[in-house]
């Protein structure tokens, strides 16, 4: 007898038996390897239904274990095919990313346990609605009471929203410098120019009593942004209405080689954010542009991001572009300026342009924090 041949036959039989045994054993099947949810704290529980099935032989008796306080799963057991509801509840959670997982286990299953990852991104639950205000955007420049009425009119269109505004205190000058609209405190400030008269104090004092949140924005040009932050917050940081500073990146070191401004790198964003929050840990810094690649690639702490794009063909096109902006910066807060003259041919046809545009944005951007109608056409909406 050929011992070698006999051995090969026996080995083959054993392999076939093992394969047949594996085929006859159950195998856990699931139509999702991970679950990723985006929501706000007040949005309520959000459910995802997944399907569990037997992808092998015999009988699959499965059970589920694991999870987190914000994660609920039902039912926790079943036989062969079935559906499971995975519910995430963001109530009480701070903005940020939460990760957990659960295990699907089954006795004798060839792939037990099967791990399913769950990611929950929680965005800010706040919303501010209001306006952008600059001295060159509307002439004559309205008094503080008018701006307060605009803030109230915008916020009233979105239940639970607060009043907010982008208040411009520094503009880009033709020579590339920055012009601040208040007097100099004394000293030498390269590339920074001042006015003899303060154009902001009266309005900020008026806003202090109204629960209107104000970000003081600059178009920095080639001026030092940390120095601009110091000048602005030393002069106006005592106002309760002031919540931080904004930088319009379109005018950051703008020149003929960089007509749309220069990109803000992560180190600059870090230093600017730290500078703003050194005056008040609750302050935030917004960066504004319509191009994502002008924003810092990774740094996010203490920042939020405003898109001021325009020249859309429709509300749908605007919502689509703003959705991409929100998704890119998720879960950081984002804001939007709208109402530009270039878009008036379509927004003027809406029943209620601020509400209709705001609702369209919020429907696709769950991390929307600020909605601001621009001053260039503000008197068309709020005469």
Contact predicate 27/110, CB 8 Å: yes
Show the tokens assigned to 117: 């990852």
pLDDT of 20 > 70? The answer is no
178 and 106 fall within a common domain:
no
Q: Which of 91, 122, 153 is the last residue of a domain?
A: 122
pLDDT computed for residue 54 by the predictor:
95
249 and 134 fall within a common domain:
yes
Domain extent, residue 218, equals: 128-381
342 and 314 fall within a common domain:
yes
pLDDT computed for residue 373 by the predictor:
98
Residue 12 lies in a domain: no
Beta bridge partners of 35: 118
167 and 301 fall within a common domain:
yes
pLDDT computed for residue 65 by the predictor:
95
Residue 224 lies in a domain: yes
270 and 247 fall within a common domain:
yes
Q: Which of 58, 87, 122 is the last residue of a domain?
A: 122
pLDDT of 232 > 90? The answer is yes
pLDDT computed for residue 14 by the predictor:
44
**CATH for 104:** 2.60.40.10
326 and 354 fall within a common domain:
yes
3-state DSSP assignment of residue 201: helix
pLDDT of 21 > 60? The answer is no
Residue 39's pLDDT band, with cuts at 50, 70 and 90, is confident
pLDDT computed for residue 113 by the predictor:
94
341 and 249 fall within a common domain:
yes
162 and 36 fall within a common domain:
no
Average pLDDT, the chain: 92
Domain count within the chain: 2
pLDDT (tens digit per residue) in 308-353? 999 999 999 999 999 999 999 988 899 999 999 999 999 999 999 9
**CATH for 250:** 3.20.20
Residue 19 lies in a domain: no
> For the purposes of burial, counting CB atoms within 10 Å of the CB of 6, is it exposed (0-12), middle (13-18) or buried (19 or more)?
exposed
pLDDT computed for residue 94 by the predictor:
78
236 and 332 fall within a common domain:
yes
Contact predicate 276/244, CB 8 Å: yes
């Amino acid at each position: 007898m050929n011992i070698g041949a006999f051995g090969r036959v026996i080995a083959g039989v054993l392999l076939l038996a093992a394969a047949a045994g594996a085929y006859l054993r159950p195998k856990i099947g699931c139509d999702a390897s991970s679950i990723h949810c985006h929501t706000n704290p007040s949005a309520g529980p959000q459910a995802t239904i997944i399907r569990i099935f037997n992808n092998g032989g015999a009988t699959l008796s499965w059970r589920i274990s694991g999870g987190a306080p914000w994660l609920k799963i039902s039912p926790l057991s079943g036989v062969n095919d079935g559906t499971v509801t995975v519910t995430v509840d963001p109530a009480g959670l701070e903005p940020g990313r939460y990760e957990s997982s659960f295990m699907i286990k089954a006795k004798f299953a060839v792939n037990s346990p099967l791990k399913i990852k769950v990611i929950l991104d929680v965005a800010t639950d706040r919303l501010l609605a209001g306006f952008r205000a600059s001295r060159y955007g509307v002439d004559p420049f309205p008094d503080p009471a008018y701006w307060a009425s605009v803030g109230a009119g915008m916020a009233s269109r979105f239940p639970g929203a607060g009043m907010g505004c982008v208040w411009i205190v520094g503009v880009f000058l033709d020579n590339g410098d920055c012009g601040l609209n208040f007097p100099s405190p004394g000293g030498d400030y390269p590339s920074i120019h001042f006015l003899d008269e303060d154009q902001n104090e009266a309005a900020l004092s008026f806003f202090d009593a109204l629960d209107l949140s104000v970000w003081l924005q600059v178009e920095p040009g080639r001026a030092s942004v940390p120095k601009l932050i110091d000048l602005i917050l030393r002069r106006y940081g005592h106002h309760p209405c002031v919540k931080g500073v904004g930088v319009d990146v379109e005018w950051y070191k703008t020149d003929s080689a960089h007509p749309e401004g220069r990109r803000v790198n992560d180190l600059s964003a870090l230093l600017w954010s730290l500078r703003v929050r050194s005056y008040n840990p609750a302050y935030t810094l917004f960066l504004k542009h319509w191009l994502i690649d002008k924003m810092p690639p990774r740094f996010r702490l203490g920042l939020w991001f405003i898109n001021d794009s325009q020249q859309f063909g429709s509300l749908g096109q605007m919502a689509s572009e703003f959705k991409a902006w929100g998704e890119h910066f998720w879960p950081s807060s984002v804001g939007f300026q709208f109402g530009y003259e270039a878009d008036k041919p379509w927004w003027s046809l809406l029943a209620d342009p601020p509400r209709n545009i705001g609702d369209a944005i919020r429907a696709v951007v769950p991390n929307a924090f600020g909605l601001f109608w621009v001053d260039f056409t503000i008197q068309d909406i709020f005469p």
